[in-house]
Amino acid sequence: MLDTTPTAPATTPARPKVLVIDDELGPRESMSYLLQDEFSVQTADRVDRGLDLIRKESFAVVVMDIRMPQKNGIQGLEELRRIDGDVAVIMMTGYGALASAQAAISLGANEYLKKPFDVDVLQAAVRRHAAQALERRKRASLLKQLEGMYESVKTEQKKHQMQVGYGQAAAEMVHDICNPLVVTIGYTNMLLDEAQNLSGKSASIDRIVHYAQRLEHCSSFCLHLAESWRQSSKSISKSETFALRGAAEETRSVLFFDSPRIEIEGDASAQITGVRYEIMRVLQNLIKNSLEAGASRVVVSIRRDPGRAVLAIADNGSGLPPDILAVILKKPIESTKAHGTGLGMTICRHIAVAHHAEMKVEPRAGGGTVFTLEFPLAD
């Protein structure tokens, strides 16, 4: 029997928006005609009219002439970048004005083309820059969502400071997972930038491989955090024996972009038994706290005491108020940072207890703070 049920029409993906700004009717209409099959094209004959459209709508690409009356393309580019930092901008010049084109690039233009333009070159440039601009907007949107999640958790945590259970577990998970996710996105951005500018040189390929390895480490870290939350237990049944210094060096390189402000020193052979990623969580939180406290130098040192492996994180930051210092390892507290939740220290305490470690904090001579964790040495 023939099915006569009407089917819903297939949705067509929205075409990327392109804005052409040119005071000359001929080139303006020609570009609009050439691009209209792939893009949703709007035009403007003056810079100010184009800027009005950019304030109202989101475009993937703006194609703008440099030489125009009233306000030229260079002036327009400066204003445009204050409105939208993600849109791709292609500048057009009919006078071979290399200096003007170079100035446009320095002010944030993505490319410049000479008039009269080559049809294939124009279409390829708009196509390429539209794809890149849409990807930038996608990543920016993801970052904004992450920031929103973090702010939401911070607000909820302040309302229910002493609450335990799944709500607390979820807050801990989001708190810890936001930082490595942002790092992952940062490395992805660098990877994309390198790939887009790849010229076949082996040095570029080596950098891409390096970034990809960092992404792999960060992804593994995120996976561990998510799995820990899913199991909702802080057991260390999947423990291993590892060197504390190696975990500290991996934390610096993977989660802090090999920051020169972070120094690792001490015994490379001191080993403990536990969950390597959990110790990296502790290091991440404590080092991040130090940097956010204005530290220009954070020293992570490892030494052996009889039967113990001692991990110390010392910084020259602003330090902690005496009243906070007295209770920070004993009970939940509100963060001393404008954008903090106070969860980081709670997580550190829980991990230390699970690893049978003793945790201490004291002022550093000359300013700053020293956190010390003493772990049982591995058998």
Indicate if the pLDDT at residue 203 is higher than 90.
no
Q: Report the alpha-carbon distance of residue 317 to residue 291 in Å, rounded.
A: 7
pLDDT band at residue 328, thresholds of 50, 70 and 90?
confident
Closest residue by Cα to residue 84 from 49, 133, 48: 133
Per-residue model confidence as pLDDT tens digits over 136-161? 888 778 777 777 777 776 676 666 55
Per-residue model confidence as pLDDT tens digits over 21-38? 999 999 999 999 999 999
Q: Kindly report the average pLDDT of the chain as a whole number.
A: 81
By three-state DSSP, how is residue 114 classified? strand
Q: Report the alpha-carbon distance of residue 291 to residue 177 in Å, rounded.
A: 18
Indicate if the pLDDT at residue 11 is higher than 60.
no
For the segment 106-125, the average pLDDT, to the nearest whole number, is 86
* Residues shown for the chain: 379
- Secondary-structure breakdown of the chain: helix, strand, coil percentages, each rounded to the nearest 5: 50, 20, 30
Query: What letter would DSSP give residue 347?
Result: H
Kindly report the CA angle at 367 between 362 and 371, in degrees rounded to 5?
30
Closest residue by Cα to residue 19 from 37, 2, 35: 35
Please give the residue that has the higher pLDDT: either 243 or 333. Answer: 243
For the segment 7-32, the average pLDDT, to the nearest whole number, is 81
Indicate if the pLDDT at residue 124 is higher than 90.
yes
Indicate if the pLDDT at residue 168 is higher than 50.
yes
- For residue 209, CA distances in Å to 69, 179, 191, 259, 302 come to 48, 22, 9, 20, 30
- Residue 204, C-beta contacts closer than 8 angstroms, at least 6 positions apart: 194, 197, 198
Query: Is the bond into 69 cis (omega within 30 degrees of 0)?
Result: no
- For residue 95, CA distances in Å to 21, 26, 110, 187, 347 come to 17, 16, 19, 40, 63
Please give the residue that has the higher pLDDT: either 331 or 341. Answer: 331
Please give the residue that has the higher pLDDT: either 53 or 324. Answer: 53
Predicted TM-score (pTM) of the model is 0.50
Indicate if the pLDDT at residue 237 is higher than 60.
no
Indicate if the pLDDT at residue 241 is higher than 90.
yes
Indicate if the pLDDT at residue 313 is higher than 90.
yes
Please give the residue that has the higher pLDDT: either 154 or 70. Answer: 70
Indicate if the pLDDT at residue 235 is higher than 50.
no
Check residue 145 and give its pLDDT.
75
